[in-house]
Structure 1
């Protein structure tokens, strides 16, 4: 049975239910299956040996998600060859590609959780009521151990960019 965490997050002040476990620093990063495009799937193991900043957004078509993705895209070139930034949402791959082209996003890998919701369930960010992924940041080391976690209290809030980037820089040294 899938774990549900009611009232741990909100959308505009209204409680929402997150599906899946609350991951913590030191946990092994769960495997997932997610789409690179409509037909091609990828998984955590495809990024083995790399440090991963996983930026989870509900939809790239919203202001905060747009800003979050642009910010990490700007920072990506400063982080070294062994670091990959993954932006994950339940948006269709077509919408992700269109967004990246329009916004000039070229250093962040966008991945879609639309098909299986595997990532959302494994990382405890799937919003039961909306079937979207809740905003969160995870930093996973080259051995797939979680080194930083931020689950946002409210879906419309920005993450702590500086704290996440500092944790990433420390790990990438």
Structure 2
């Protein structure tokens, strides 16, 4: 049995209940709350993520709107097809898209300053559910196609 730490989920929410339902049969689960996310993470949003959040506002393409269906924020390198879950600076899985846990080679050179980091064009933000990466658009469609919002 593996131990999975599901971090930054507000206790008693549907997100926690979903995580427990999805992972409980396979693992021991521990939780931390959103208040444990360091304040510095707000400085790590790049313009592209901010623009995407505006574009998908009010849809199932945002973390806060699809987490209850088991989707975890992630990034995919379209050249290498490598997928990484979004993580905080201390390595915990994040409930939102953060740049902290991404490899330096996923950013344009000379963007060492966290506030000035710019993702390479081949990096796509999206979500992972049951080991499969979905773009934001694919996430919206998957929830509709699989009738997840009717469960």
TM-score (norm 1): 0.31
The structure with the greater share of residues assigned to helix is 2
TM-score (norm 2): 0.34
The structure richer in strand per residue is 1
Higher RCO (Cα < 8 Å, 6 or more apart):
1
